[in-house]
């Protein structure tokens, strides 16, 4: 199964108030394994970069001034995305900016049904815990020591590793064949209880022989102080 893990950097928090996409990084995974294929691009937002946003990702007006416009790279981006599910952390944010840019370029937005949100997965898996990318990487032992500032491609690469862990680890993609087993009550008992084989003996006779009965009678006759005789005398 082909999936695309992606991340974006922007000038702010809301595309509806004029904020723009300035970077996108995409990583291809197939059957939960990274293929090494990626898409990465910076964009000129045609507006100034707020200081608070630059403090997060380090992308300045000067750096972005000679970068291409989103519209000029949209076809290449869409070609890379194909029809694969799109995985992002707090995905509604990234989808909002991506679709705003596509709409501004006169292109169809990406269907929200393709969205896979790792933030929602993490909240379900670890209720009450911290769910930032940094916190989750620490939880799953993913090395993020080289993450000084946010960067779309780097964050997408980290998120790809995190997504694999959140969805069961790499063994989920090994493609092992699983046979269907009908669990009848007899099958459950047989599978859960291992009984050692029992060797049955031949049945032994329990009825006394004539000779044994005669010997028993002679023994009884020889008793002189039997308890039952005392009871009989007392009555």
Q: Is 57 annotated as a binding residue?
A: yes
Contact 20, 33 (CB under 8 A): no
Q: Is 52 annotated as a binding residue?
A: yes
- Work out the widest C-alpha separation in the chain, in whole angstroms: 128
Tokens of 231: 């009871």
Edge-first strand order for the sheet with 86-88 is 33-42, 21-30, 2-10, 86-88, 115-117
Question: Cα Rg for the chain, rounded, in angstroms?
Answer: 38
* CA distance from start to end of the chain: 97
Catalytic residues, by residue number, are 150
Q: Which amino acids are annotated as binding site for a divalent metal cation, given as ranges?
A: 7, 9, 155
Q: Which amino acids are annotated as binding site for substrate, given as ranges?
A: 7, 9, 52, 57, 155
Q: Which amino acids are annotated as binding site, given as ranges?
A: 7, 9, 52, 57, 155
């Amino acid at each position: 199964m082909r999936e695309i893990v992606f991340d974006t950097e922007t000038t702010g928090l809301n595309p509806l108030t004029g904020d723009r996409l300035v970077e996108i990084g995409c990583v291809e995974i197939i059957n939960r394994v990274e293929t090494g294929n990626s898409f990465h691009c910076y964009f000129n937002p045609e507006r100034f970069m707020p200081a608070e946003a630059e403090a997060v990702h380090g992308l300045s007006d000067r750096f972005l001034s000679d970068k291409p416009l989103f519209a000029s790279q949209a076809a290449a981006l869409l070609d890379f995305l194909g029809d694969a599910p799109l995985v992002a952390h707090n995905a509604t944010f990234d989808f909002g900016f991506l679709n705003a840019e596509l709409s501004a370029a006169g292109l169809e937005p990406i269907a929200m049904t393709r969205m896979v949100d790792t933030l929602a997965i993490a909240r379900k898996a670890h209720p009450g815990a911290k769910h930032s990318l940094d916190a989750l990487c620490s939880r799953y032992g993913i090395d993020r020591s080289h993450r000084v500032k946010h960067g779309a491609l780097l964050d997408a690469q980290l998120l790809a590793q995190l997504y694999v862990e959140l969805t069961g680890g790499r063994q989920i993609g090994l493609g092992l064949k699983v046979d269907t087993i009908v669990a009848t009550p007899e099958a459950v008992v047989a599978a859960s209880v291992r009984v050692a084989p029992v060797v049955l003996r031949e049945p032994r006779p329990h009825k006394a022989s004539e000779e044994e009965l005669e010997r028993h009678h002679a023994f009884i006759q020889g008793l002189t102080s039997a308890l039952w005789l005392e009871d009989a005398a007392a009555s």
